[in-house]
Amino acid sequence: MNIATDTLDAWIGRSETFQDTITTAPFVALTATLDYPAAEAPAGTTLPPLWHWLYFLPKHRQSDIGADGHARRGGFMPPVPLPRRMWAGSQFTFHTPIRVGDTVARTSTIDDVSTKEGRTGKLVFVKVRHELRCNGATDPALVEFHDIVYREAQGPNDVAPPPQAAAQGAWRREIVPDDVLLFRYSALTFNGHRIHYDRQYVTQVEGYPGLIVHGPLIATLLMDLLRRQLPGADVASFRFKAVRPTFDLHPFHVNGELQADGKTVRLWASDHEGWLTMDATATLR
């Protein structure tokens, strides 16, 4: 497929700003989804790292949704002519807390667009920078870089990337990614991407063996593991990279361990066969 890189490059620098209020209901709903006891979240409650994904939800009209469940391309996102879209990874810097009751402005900017040739054909990477500012502040409370990869359709001769063996961490928790967990997270983030809930679509159209567990859900579970093991830890930065898709067909594990410096936490997810599926690092203050 011929991809007009000049056309895609024109999207670099495009920006949009939205405002949202950090309300209680999504906070309480994700608390339940992550299997914590019922809890309240009064004004002033600090939002755990990555829970900002519960806000600034996409609100595209139904008529603007494409065949894959995402908004049609060519608005804020560049019109990449490749059918498969995945969340490849993200990098975060947490400057100041975001709290329930805050009014937050999020400015999103297309930071970069690049094209590469992969084992299975063309790849297009889009990097989006998000800056979140609370209550009219000038400096951002949170800066996030979001990496999105677009791929060609599944081909009959596609070969999966060679797997990487994952060790068992000092911290380890088994996760059962059933249909209900995937549905609840899709609903909480208003994510219409059909690969997470439409088994016929994901297997017959995109060629995967099962429903795909959301990359941000796995990242949230990794950060949740850190919270369970180090209650009250103050996270300064976090980054994750998706290595292999995780499917709903088997349980998987989130793993972690505090490094010798006492500030670096290595986190990773592994599938039922012990292969690495997500690699991540958190830095504590």
pLDDT tens for 11-54 read: 999 999 999 999 999 999 999 999 999 888 999 999 999 999 99
Q: How many CB atoms lie within 10 A of CB 180?
A: 10
Query: What pLDDT score does 236 carry?
Result: 98
Residue showing tokens 């391309």: 73
Q: Are 238 and 284 in contact (CB under 8 A)?
A: no
Query: What pLDDT score does 23 carry?
Result: 97
Q: Is the pTM of this model over 0.95?
A: no
Distance CA 52, CA 45 (A): 13
Residue 183 DSSP symbol:
H
Query: What pLDDT score does 83 carry?
Result: 82
Residue showing tokens 């019109």: 79
Distance CA 14, CA 261 (A): 40
Query: What pLDDT score does 156 carry?
Result: 62
Q: How many CB atoms lie within 10 A of CB 133?
A: 22
- Positions of the chain with pLDDT lower than 70, given as ranges: 1-2, 4, 74, 120, 155-161
Q: Are 268 and 238 in contact (CB under 8 A)?
A: no
Distance CA 9, CA 220 (A): 31
- Residues 194-230: tens digit of each pLDDT: 999 999 999 999 888 999 999 999 999 999 999 999 9
- Residue 262, sorted as left (phi over 0), alpha (psi -120 to 50) or beta, turns out to be left
Query: What pLDDT score does 60 carry?
Result: 83
Distance CA 285, CA 283 (A): 7
Query: What pLDDT score does 157 carry?
Result: 60
Locate 186 and state its tokens.
């899709």
Query: What pLDDT score does 160 carry?
Result: 66
Strand order across the 171-175 sheet: 15-21, 103-118, 121-134, 142-151, 84-94, 235-242, 276-284, 264-270, 252-258, 171-175
Residue 51 DSSP symbol:
G
